[in-house]
Every structure is written in structure tokens, then in C-alpha cells.
Amino acid sequence: QVQLVESGGGPVQAGGSLRLSCAASESSSSSGCMGWFRQSPGKEREGVALIYPVTGGSRVAYADSVKGRFTISQDNAKKTLYLQMNTLSPEDTAMYYCAARGPGTYCSGAYLSRSSDWNYWGQGTQVTVSS
């Protein structure tokens, strides 16, 4: 069982930055694929970024809408996942969720569009970008 707790959301003006954090109860090797999703009212949950361990390091993937602006990273010692968000726009306004697929699960960039295949979710943190 992987427990996830997000923090770091809040209001920000367009063009600003925020860093979201997700504290996990398990290490990255036990959590497997970890990622960030977002959902705004009336829209489907959207995969934003994911990261997973590979031999010698990690691999990341991003949604096209955030490439070049958002950076996902992980501090394994702290069992914490981060999402650095720069150049925010009102279109980024959403509830942001941390997720993990769990130990022993496969991961690839394709899982950004497969939210139903993620087994563990945090409670979410709201990001509101004003113009």
C-alpha cells in the first residue's frame, strides 16, 4: 500500500512558478512509476508528467502541453516527488494529483494517458493561475 500526500498548491499569477511536492510512504523502487495528473471542472483527468526508475537512473515523460515548462523530479532519500511548474498560465488551473502504479508494475510514457492503470492516488492540491 502506497500512501501519497501532496502539498505546494495555491494561487499564482500568470507567468509565475510553483513547486508541488508529494510525500510517499514507500521508496521509488516500491512505488514504481510515479506521476502527476491534473483535473479541472468538466474535464477528464489529464496526465502531466511521470518518472520511473531504470538501471542507472530514471526516465521521465511529459504531456505536450507542459513540455519545456514543467519538470518532474524525485528525491529518493526523502521519498518525495516534485513537480516544478514554470511560466504558468490560466489553462494550468486544476487540481493536481500525485499517483503511483505500485511495486513491480511496468511503466512507460504511455501511462500518462492511462489514469485508470494507476493504483494509488493522493488527495490532490489545487493550483489556481490568475491572468
pLDDT 10s digits, 13-47: 999 999 999 999 887 666 779 999 999 999 999 99
The predicted structure's pLDDT at residue 2: 87
Taking the C-alpha atoms of residue 98 and residue 38, their distance in angstroms, rounded to an integer, is 9
Q: Residue 38: name the closest of 129, 131, 103, 130 by CA.
A: 129
Cβ proximity of 90 and 74 under 8 Å: no
The predicted structure's pLDDT at residue 64: 97
Angle at 8 between CA 70 and CA 41, to 5 degrees: 75
- Per-residue pLDDT at 8 exceeds 70: yes
Averaged pLDDT, 57-68: 96
Tally: H helices and E strands in the chain: 1, 11
